[in-house]
């Protein structure tokens, strides 16, 4: 493939799971789409058989308290999009329509790995349209209590990538203070972040259950912590899985910029709200960013397609 050009999927692929908050079954189908389409959620099975398209963009964010939600609360919305968005951005996929038959994306195992497995079933296709990137020109910073995040230019000659520096600090001996720095590439995302699961303390989850939330949360899709131990029999996937998952969430949230970012992201004790606020701060200042064409380099491994896409058969479900 030629990097620097937009991508989509070779075929469509479906997954089934449960919503982490509703606890109800939900299915999604990832469809190839045209160049310059972006990531679009197609919400189906609405009242009176209606459907609604929702662009995956920070302008459309309506809630960030427990997860990232896009849409319009009075018409249609899609929640818990961050792990899927992280998989798409992490693998460098620009254009996909995500058909979803419920109000939230299935949680699967609490990471991005099942989405990557589904994408690998069908492969990634290169389109004949240049990729546009958002280059950070000057620092922007947001703060919320002790949490903060910032986007800055990445001062490296000829740099066209994105570096992440994420730190967390929990008052728990099971987590404590963890920091990780990563240059975001497809290989690094697969290896270092994709399998990191969401996590929570049992006492907090029990409070959410009382409010009718997190009804689908279980040891199959979350790392559960008591006061003094991790309850999952298999333990952790990475020694610092907690900070890696926070970084994975940030990849998904920042993908709502609408195009890949060039620069450096740093955060301390951040979360969905702070990630969203960082995008708001960036785009509120026209002098802080600019759009540029991605450089073209010849690589190998993906098919090339014209801007027109043929209809494709459903791939096997991935559960």
Domain assignment present for residue 289? The answer is yes
pLDDT reading at 314 higher than 60: no
User: Which pLDDT belongs to residue 194?
Assistant: 98
| Structure confidence at residue 240 as a pLDDT band (50, 70, 90) | very high
Whole-number Å distance between alpha carbons of 191 and 194: 7
Helices (H), the chain: 82-90, 113-122, 186-188, 202-210, 241-254, 272-284
Q: In terms of C-beta distances under 8 Å and separation of at least 24 residues, what long-range contacts does 299-303 make, across chains too?
A: 299/1, 299/2, 299/3, 300/1, 301/1, 302/1, 302/7, 302/123, 302/124, 302/125, 302/126, 303/1, 303/10, 303/123, 303/124, 303/125, 303/126
**Residue of 210 and 220 predicted with greater confidence:** 220
What's the whole-model pTM score? 0.91
Q: pLDDT at position 182, please? A: 97
Whether the predicted pLDDT of 47 surpasses 90? no
- Is residue 318 a part of any domain in this protein? no
Is 187 known to sit in a ligand binding site?
A: no
Q: By percentage, how much of the chain surpasses pLDDT 90? A: 81
- Residue 310 located in a structural domain: no
pLDDT of residue 316: 33
Q: Are 68 and 81 in contact (CB under 8 A)?
A: yes
- Catalytic annotation present for 272: yes
Domain that holds residue 13: 2-304
Answer yes or no: is 245 a known binding residue: yes
The answer to whether residue 172 is domain-embedded is yes
Cβ-based neighbours of 227, under 8 Å, separated by 6 or more: none
Residue 317 within any structural domain of the chain: no
b/e 155-168 (16+ beta carbons within 10 angstroms → b): eeeeebbbbbbbbb
Distance CA 107, CA 222 (A): 9
Residue 315 resides in a domain: no
Cβ contacts of residue 156 below 8 Å, gap of 6+?
none
User: What is the pLDDT at residue 274?
Assistant: 98
- pLDDT of 280 > 70? The answer is yes
Q: Does a structural domain hold residue 247? A: yes
Give per-residue pLDDT as tens, 20-36: 988 999 999 999 999 99
Domains identified in the chain, total number:
1
Q: Which member of 45, 57, 272, 302 is catalytic? A: 272
Instruction: Tell whether 309 is covered by a domain.
Output: no
Alpha-carbon span 136 to 115, nearest angstrom: 29
Rounded Cα gap, residues 18 and 24, in angstroms? 5
pLDDT for 107-159, tens place per residue?
999 999 999 999 999 999 999 999 999 999 999 999 999 999 999 998 765 67
Q: Is 240 or 50 the better-scoring residue by pLDDT?
A: 240
Number of H helices, E strands in the chain: 6, 22
Evaluate whether 145 touches 274 at the Cβ level (below 8 Å): no
For the segment 193-201, the average pLDDT, to the nearest whole number, is 97
Q: What are the start-end ranges of the E strands in 33-157?
A: 39-43, 52-55, 61-63, 69-72, 76-78, 96-100, 124-130, 132-136, 140-144, 147-152
Can you give the CATH number for the domain in which 106 is found?
3.30.1700.10
């Amino acid at each position: 493939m030629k990097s620097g050009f937009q991508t989509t999927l070779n075929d469509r692929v479906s997954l089934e799971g449960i919503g982490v908050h509703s606890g109800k079954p939900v299915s999604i189908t990832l469809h190839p789409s045209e160049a310059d389409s972006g990531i679009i959620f197609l919400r189906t099975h609405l009242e009176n058989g209606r459907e609604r398209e929702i662009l995956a963009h920070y302008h459309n964010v309506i809630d960030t308290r427990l997860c990232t939600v896009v849409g319009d609360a009075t018409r249609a919305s899609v929640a818990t999009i961050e792990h899927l968005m992280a998989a798409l951005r992490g693998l460098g996929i620009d254009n996909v329509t995500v058909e979803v038959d419920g109000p939230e994306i299935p949680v699967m195992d609490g990471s991005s790995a099942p989405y990557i497995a589904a994408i690998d079933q069908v492969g990634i296709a290169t389109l004949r349209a240049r990729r546009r990137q958002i280059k950070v020109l000057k620092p922007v910073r947001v703060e919320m209590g002790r949490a903060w995040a910032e986007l800055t230019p990445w001062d490296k000659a000829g740099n066209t990538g994105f570096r992440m520096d994420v730190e967390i600090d929990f008052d728990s001996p099971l987590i404590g203070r963890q920091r990780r720095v990563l240059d975001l590439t497809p290989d690094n995302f697969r290896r270092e972040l994709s399998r990191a699961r969401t996590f929570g303390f049992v006492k907090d989850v029990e409070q959410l259950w009382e409010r009718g939330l997190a009804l689908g949360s279980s040891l199959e899709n979350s790392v559960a912590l008591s006061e003094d131990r991790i309850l999952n029999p298999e333990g952790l996937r990475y020694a610092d899985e907690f900070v890696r998952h926070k970084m994975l969430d940030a990849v998904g949230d920042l993908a709502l910029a609408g195009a890949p970012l060039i620069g450096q992201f740093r955060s301390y004790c951040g979360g969905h709200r702070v990630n969203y606020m960082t995008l708001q701060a960036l785009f509120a200042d026209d002098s802080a960013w600019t759009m540029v064409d991605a450089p073209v380099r010849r690589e190998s491994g993906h098919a090339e397609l014209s801007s027109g896409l043929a209809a494709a058969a459903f791939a096997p479900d991935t559960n």
